[in-house]
Amino acid sequence: MLLNNNMNTRYKGSFFKFSVKLFSIVFLFFLMGCDQPEEKAVDKKMYYDLKGFIETQITFLSEQKPTVNKILTVAGKNESRSTKEVDWKKELELFIQADINKPAYSKSFEVTKPDSLTSTFTLKTDENIPVKSVTVRLDKITGNPVLIKALLKSENKLYQSEKNIELHCIGESNQWHVTYYSIKGYQKLATMDKKDFSIESKVIY
């Protein structure tokens, strides 16, 4: 009788362990099955992946440390600078801000194609966000952007701002990279006159 009890106990223990393992395996596959659609949804881009491209350029430029020849114009006064010491994350921050691949913007833009390589994303009239338009022109062979343009506007009772940003790229030595970028626009405080400005930068490798 004691032997039978021991065998029953062992059998129950083995069955319990087997059940736990089986449950763990099934649960793991369930989790994997649930995660896959979510990952696909996250990876899907409604518009051109501007943020992803700019981030790759920030990494490349930070490693290469090219010379930047810059002309700054504020209220008609010019200043020239040349430097290799550039914080590229800050330098290209406005282009990151122009990214429109956010869930809240998925239905905010009209898409037009002037030609097969150019796409323009224009904010609908009933929407109110800082990014008003983005234009991307792609290289015919590589599919990489040769031109990126965007218009950003902000306005409230105390402040107005407009920024037209533009970025040019080419491919050299099997590497696609920025050759020129600019920011042109104005700022206006309620108590001050409008102040125009522009920053034009040439990148020399």
- Indicate if the alpha-carbon torsion angle 70, 71, 73, 77 is positive or negative: positive
**pTM of the shown model:** 0.77
Q: Residue 168: exposed, middle, or buried by beta-carbon count in 10 A (0-12, 13-18, 19+)?
A: middle
Q: Residue 28: exposed, middle, or buried by beta-carbon count in 10 A (0-12, 13-18, 19+)?
A: exposed
What is the C-alpha separation between 78 and 205, in angstroms, rounded? 24
Q: What stretch of H or E contains 117?
A: none
Would you say 148 and 50 are in contact if contact means Cβ atoms under 8 Å apart? yes
What are the C-alpha distances in Å from 25 to residues 28, 32, 40, 179?
Answer: 5, 11, 23, 53
Q: Residue 49: exposed, middle, or buried by beta-carbon count in 10 A (0-12, 13-18, 19+)?
A: middle
What is the C-alpha separation between 136 and 120, in angstroms, rounded? 6
Q: Which long-range contacts (CB under 8 A, 24 or more apart) does 168-172 make?
A: 169/57, 169/144, 169/145, 170/146, 171/139, 171/142, 171/144, 172/205
pLDDT at 43: 56
Tell the residue number behind the tokens 């990952």, with chain if given. Answer: 39
In a structure prediction context, what are the per-residue pLDDT tens digits for the chain, which is 205 residues long?
433 444 444 444 443 444 444 444 333 333 344 444 444 444 578 899 999 999 999 999 999 999 999 999 998 899 999 999 999 999 999 999 999 999 999 999 999 999 999 999 999 999 999 999 999 999 999 999 999 999 999 999 999 999 999 999 999 988 999 999 999 999 999 999 999 999 999 999 9
What is the C-alpha separation between 194 and 197, in angstroms, rounded? 10
Q: What stretch of H or E contains 44?
A: none
Q: Going by C-beta distance under 8 Å and a sequence separation of 6 or more, which residues neighbour residue 196? A: 73, 74, 75, 76, 185, 186
Would you say 137 and 85 are in contact if contact means Cβ atoms under 8 Å apart? no
